[in-house]
Structure 1
């Protein structure tokens, strides 16, 4: 794999000219093409789709209107509640509500099914589509029923990726979907595009997860594709089936890219034809001369079976490399765990080594990444006539939709899997976010799913529980299962892959999915369970701001799972106050109490009482502020909390990573950088300021107070640098906070206090 930092030109989709001072001269002399870099940038597939959906009239400042929206059952309640509070009357575009996260309905009494009934009545009332539990995971339904060439889809799940089918799809926090529901736009600067030039053909036994992990490992730490669009082109594309492309595509999220898109061909045309949607096919190819801001050359024939060790999809090795350096790599994982868990628990992977081989406790093939038809068929071929054994090792397989499941039953794949000892279950995302198949304490799980962050398998470090996940392809998971749980690459075994043809049966969806066909029925009453609560009142940004630092995180990257845990908290996503009690619980158990304490001062201001009387430690802070800053008084002052994290927001699109902080009185985050655009957007949409501070220049400590004068005026004027002061020991110490520029709408949202307030002010 070659990474070209300075970009490259692609001529006729085949010839590569690496960018240089003489590149355009070379292109003209060799190929007779006369162009400029700016003209060539417009030749990307991504640019064409973006501009077709841009309503701003400005090629650089984009205002995007999407064709369709999709959400699942731990996000759609909050989205619809926010939109209702902002004036929603009807879904203006197709909006699909799937139920694949809280579908077990096994935690918290009635509340999961209450959310589903809310979703069904909302689909009827506002004109949407409702997919009942166990029918399909969110992204598989979108592939089968929504995605089409040249379209754009916005989803409230970070793995919203349908580029292999010719759809630019983006995963964002719920407020961005609210904007679309209210006929507003998704506002971004035109993103850079990274060309992924594929050549060769994968060797037998290599699957899409292997290619995806190789890409993630090569790009993540470098930030090579961060907030950019990945565009897959080149002669190697034709050597990949539709399912193989989909399996790579869904994992592009883990590179921190904004979106992805692929060139399309007859393979994709056939996929859409099989699903009865041939009219949604569109041939997509790059222009005659296309410029990519960065460029990757990837020879598929060189990819070997891969494994991403705990605790990140970028912690990658070939399985061959892991087995050769087993104890060293396991020791490195254990050391990383000590840092990640602050020494609270001990991860012991070296005890998994038996007779020089790594023994695995559990295998999972599931969800939008692993549950595809071809992955499971190949796994069934590997396991045919084998046994997973009767020791600790278990194997669970989750087809991604009922149509896929039904075809696997018809062609015998399910029978082969079950005969081996594997358990085949219904469509469910639980194993991907810690709500299903939680392993035993200190167990090691290999999964063809999307993430292996800490606790994504369901263990709780705060309770002394620890398990770990490695990501692998379904084929190598099946090979490991066939070998009784000892880690084995699929290329090490000789298998006759039958490659059965897929036949799609639409009957299940026709019988069970509610589709309003876009017709809203205002007479329908929404069904509210007792756990579905409205958002609490949120204040507008004050003129001056006192912030207390209530958590300080120095990990290289902080995931959204660490900001608000997944798994056991999912049942409370419709209850803002109750969910907020879990904020940072896995990272800093004292955060909630500290945030609530300083929030008392803000509530005192709102109730026209003295904040110093309810938070006594504010007295010396306020003494300094009153002495040093003229005109500051209760009427123009606000109080709240902030956290510092080096690089927060990797992973999930869940808005609750920000909204829970806001519910607890958070006014800002301070970071060296933000891991993803979606997390920064979530902060802004919940009225929180995404401050930046230069790495290595931290003038404050946890529990310090920071005063920011004239913050409202500074935000209004579009400033990107702010005067701030640490107030401590009777002194003020000046320092600077920065911020990337805000759009006009983003300024207004922060000034109003949150997106709900912003829209209410316009009603």
Structure 2
């Protein structure tokens, strides 16, 4: 049972929940009347945020982190941005892992070129470099960097180490650049929601089952959006820390800001095992703590779960799905048909029902969620002496780090898996984002990984290729494999099994990880591969802007994987203009050419040329606006021209800043949305100098229309609650109507970044003022 409280609650003595409307009970339990303002300070989250806040105002936080982490899709761009902004040395430990583009199957030498660049940067600036195949980013950070009371910032959305007492946040690269330049992460004090755990998971229930049950309960309502999830209650101690890590990493899929767990002797044992006893301290709420909401989870009631395509919140109990296969799978088929649109792609799932059972084509256990020691050990136990079969179903297992792999070998688990027919690979995140184990066309893959967004597994609907992923725990994936690929719940399998204690061996890290923090070698040259390019110049925002609508997406949610596809396109992430060619390629393939044409208009304007498009003078638009608004003929010369995307709710998913930067290098100036799915995407939009507009009503404009926003720089200095804008329809006569845009609160620094045109320009301006 997962239950959401309607309103806030007090937690007394770490165990007793008192709904806010029953606050008088607090006095009966403590002898003191409830003080909501003071009790807000009683959360674990408050104490950590206060410790890391550099300002005197706890309502408007300015945070500095203890360490940071990036992988090889993001660290090149971050370092390039920081260099252009005046970087001299990494001021805090900065871990660069190579777990996303570990393989060199696409783009020639460019993946390994980026790895070489990363090592040279670690030497020059004093970083920590984890070579390919050694560890996935989050497992290394758990094992070697996380600690109780610490804060870690990562350029990957699944930066979550709450089960180790670390408040970790996944953000776009711009926020990491700020930390490298000794600036701060600025955010309003977030709400804190208690995830109150009671009971104990059944032996056949794994961490993914618990996580999916919570995600399914909270995502649609936005119950924890941009809030901190604080795991408390007696149920925490029913799970060991490796299990908790598996639950915690999935909190990202709720759209929360971060997570934190109470710590105990098991947390201490985990850190001690990894040679970091000094990283432990007990974290508990104060005697009375107030939470803005409560998610009550009875762990004993959770059953093996599945998240069907195309989101981790599309959850069902596996037995529930098996009892209603046809009806439920047809809803997925309809959603696939809607997403495929006019493409040639077609997905069918009901044809995979054989004798009343669902036959799946692939299983994968991998990454920061699935590749943990206890998950792989449980899967190996379930498959001991079993046979995956030699038909279409296949199973791949990726342990999350070399130390985990080494102990799995010592325990015999790798042999058990291989003997059953599974293939075992090195640490790699590729299956999670479409760069590895892409299923065949019209196939269903079941995965203990983090996401199952559309096309994230490697589909190309525009080329007629489509497959899909369902998320499941490693235990149920193993049970399915043992049954030759027929979807099977782990219930009834391995109920008497206890995972043997993990034995950590750091030798692979000791011998291969470059430890350069505090030992910068400034004379070391950066080694550039031919694909590594500098950011193109971006101009400051003008007082007036004219935006051309180049994409209009009316889906309920638009993921970052749709804005800039993952998978093989990520090989071009070190080349801003090269990567930009893929923007919206699997959602609106015409977007790039439309944006390029708009950018050409802006370049012509800046050079003084007459802005023409397809023989139609753009001056006609300005003449219509000039007449309507009674403004001068100078309007065109003083107005920057750029492209814009409208999406109902953009930015769910990855922290990759390329979702915004690719729009910007093509000439994008703004997004318009009903709401932004995540804080990190909105931050990316602003750090790349684009305006995060909001529009409450339905968009009365289409692709090709123009939107004129006068006085936008002045508006950025105001409250931004009403920003008049004028839609000029792209048809004869250019009829005009007004719309009311607005922008949610921005920090003073964010306003200046947008006005400067991007974070690089903002930092250059600051450096010039200092000199």
- TM-score norm. by structure 1 comes to 0.98
Q: How do residues 39-438 of structure 1 correspond to structure 2 at under 5 angstroms?
A: 39-344=38-343, 345-438=345-438
Q: 2:673 aligns with which of 668, 671, 674?
A: 671
| Other-structure match for 2:661 | 659
Q: Separation in 2 of the partners of 1:495 and 1:505?
A: 29
| Other-structure match for 1:703 | 704
Q: How many residue pairs are counted as aligned between the two chains?
A: 760
Q: Separation in 2 of the partners of 1:461 and 1:492?
A: 39
- Please state whether the residue corresponding to 1:761 is helix, strand or coil: helix
After superposition, what is the alpha-carbon deviation per residue over 1:525-583, rounded to whole angstroms, capped at 9, x for unaligned? 00000000000010110111111111110100000000000001111000000100000
Tell me how far 1:457 sits from its aligned partner: 1.1
Tell me how far 1:715 sits from its aligned partner: 1.3
Q: Separation in 2 of the partners of 1:91 and 1:721?
A: 41
After superposition, what is the alpha-carbon deviation per residue over 1:492-550, rounded to whole angstroms, capped at 9, x for unaligned? 33554241111101111010000013211111000000000000010110111111111
Query: Taking structure 1 as reference, are residues 545 and 671 closer, same or farther at Cα in structure 2, changes over 3 Å only?
Result: same
Tell me how far 1:110 sits from its aligned partner: 0.7
Tell me how far 1:611 sits from its aligned partner: 2.1
After superposition, what is the alpha-carbon deviation per residue over 1:227-260, rounded to whole angstroms, capped at 9, x for unaligned? 0000000000010011110000000000000000
Tell me how far 1:667 sits from its aligned partner: 0.5
Q: Which moved more, 1:167-176 or 1:338-347?
A: 338-347
Pair 1:518-2:518 in alignment: yes
| Other-structure match for 2:573 | 573
- Please state whether the residue corresponding to 1:668 is helix, strand or coil: strand
| Other-structure match for 1:734 | 738
* Conserved? CA contact 1:479–1:493, under 8 Å: yes
| Other-structure match for 2:484 | 484
| Other-structure match for 1:475 | 475
* Conserved? CA contact 1:600–1:614, under 8 Å: no
- Please state whether the residue corresponding to 2:601 is helix, strand or coil: helix
| Other-structure match for 1:762 | 766
Tell me how far 1:720 sits from its aligned partner: 2.8
Tell me how far 1:618 sits from its aligned partner: 1.8
Query: Taking structure 1 as reference, are residues 224 and 698 closer, same or farther at Cα in structure 2, changes over 3 Å only?
Result: same
| Other-structure match for 2:10 | 9
After superposition, what is the alpha-carbon deviation per residue over 1:443-500, rounded to whole angstroms, capped at 9, x for unaligned? 1100000000111111211111000100000000000000111001111335542411
* Conserved? CA contact 1:115–1:529, under 8 Å: yes
| Other-structure match for 2:639 | 637
Q: Separation in 2 of the partners of 1:614 and 1:622?
A: 17
Q: Separation in 2 of the partners of 1:385 and 1:495?
A: 16
Q: Separation in 2 of the partners of 1:283 and 1:606?
A: 60
Q: Separation in 2 of the partners of 1:93 and 1:604?
A: 44
Q: Which moved more, 1:707-716 or 1:441-450?
A: 707-716
Q: Separation in 2 of the partners of 1:204 and 1:715?
A: 55
| Other-structure match for 1:586 | 586
Query: Taking structure 1 as reference, are residues 28 and 102 closer, same or farther at Cα in structure 2, changes over 3 Å only?
Result: same
Q: Separation in 2 of the partners of 1:668 and 1:633?
A: 20
Pair 1:535-2:535 in alignment: yes
* Conserved? CA contact 2:480–2:487, under 8 Å: yes
Tell me how far 1:351 sits from its aligned partner: 0.9
Query: Taking structure 1 as reference, are residues 626 and 546 closer, same or farther at Cα in structure 2, changes over 3 Å only?
Result: same
| Other-structure match for 1:439 | 439
| Other-structure match for 1:551 | 551
* Conserved? CA contact 1:338–1:346, under 8 Å: yes
* Conserved? CA contact 2:611–2:619, under 8 Å: no
Q: Separation in 1 of the partners of 2:469 and 2:3?
A: 29
Question: Which consecutive residues of structure 2, in runs of 5 or more, have no partner in the other structure?
Answer: none
After superposition, what is the alpha-carbon deviation per residue over 1:711-741, rounded to whole angstroms, capped at 9, x for unaligned? 1111133423200011133332111001101
* Conserved? CA contact 1:136–1:427, under 8 Å: yes
* Conserved? CA contact 2:94–2:517, under 8 Å: no
Query: Taking structure 1 as reference, are residues 93 and 615 closer, same or farther at Cα in structure 2, changes over 3 Å only?
Result: farther
- Please state whether the residue corresponding to 1:139 is helix, strand or coil: helix
- Please state whether the residue corresponding to 2:387 is helix, strand or coil: coil
- Please state whether the residue corresponding to 1:529 is helix, strand or coil: coil
Q: Which moved more, 1:714-723 or 1:290-299?
A: 714-723
- Please state whether the residue corresponding to 2:96 is helix, strand or coil: strand
Q: Separation in 1 of the partners of 2:519 and 2:493?
A: 54
Q: Separation in 2 of the partners of 1:617 and 1:390?
A: 64
Q: 1:647 aligns with which of 646, 649, 652?
A: 649
* Conserved? CA contact 2:619–2:636, under 8 Å: no
* Conserved? CA contact 1:600–1:615, under 8 Å: no
* Conserved? CA contact 1:382–1:495, under 8 Å: no
Please give the root-mean-square deviation of Cα atoms over the aligned residues, in Å: 1.1
* Conserved? CA contact 1:446–1:477, under 8 Å: yes
Q: Separation in 1 of the partners of 2:692 and 2:447?
A: 34
After superposition, what is the alpha-carbon deviation per residue over 1:377-436, rounded to whole angstroms, capped at 9, x for unaligned? 000000000010011000000000000000000110001000000001000000000000
- TM-score norm. by structure 2 comes to 0.97
* Conserved? CA contact 2:346–2:464, under 8 Å: no
- Please state whether the residue corresponding to 2:675 is helix, strand or coil: coil
* Conserved? CA contact 1:24–1:36, under 8 Å: no
Tell me how far 1:132 sits from its aligned partner: 0.2
* Conserved? CA contact 2:381–2:494, under 8 Å: no
- Please state whether the residue corresponding to 1:28 is helix, strand or coil: helix
- Please state whether the residue corresponding to 1:698 is helix, strand or coil: coil
Q: Separation in 2 of the partners of 1:660 and 1:85?
A: 18
Q: Separation in 2 of the partners of 1:371 and 1:296?
A: 27
Q: 2:688 aligns with which of 677, 686, 689?
A: 686
Q: Separation in 1 of the partners of 2:195 and 2:726?
A: 46
Q: Separation in 2 of the partners of 1:282 and 1:455?
A: 42
Query: Taking structure 1 as reference, are residues 77 and 133 closer, same or farther at Cα in structure 2, changes over 3 Å only?
Result: same
Tell me how far 1:31 sits from its aligned partner: 2.9
Q: Separation in 2 of the partners of 1:439 and 1:52?
A: 46
Q: Separation in 1 of the partners of 2:33 and 2:20?
A: 15
* Conserved? CA contact 1:75–1:156, under 8 Å: yes
Q: Separation in 1 of the partners of 2:604 and 2:721?
A: 30
Question: Which consecutive residues of structure 1, in runs of 5 or more, have no partner in the other structure?
Answer: none
- Please state whether the residue corresponding to 1:649 is helix, strand or coil: strand
* Conserved? CA contact 1:718–1:742, under 8 Å: no
Q: Separation in 1 of the partners of 2:519 and 2:314?
A: 47
- Please state whether the residue corresponding to 1:195 is helix, strand or coil: strand
- Please state whether the residue corresponding to 1:682 is helix, strand or coil: helix
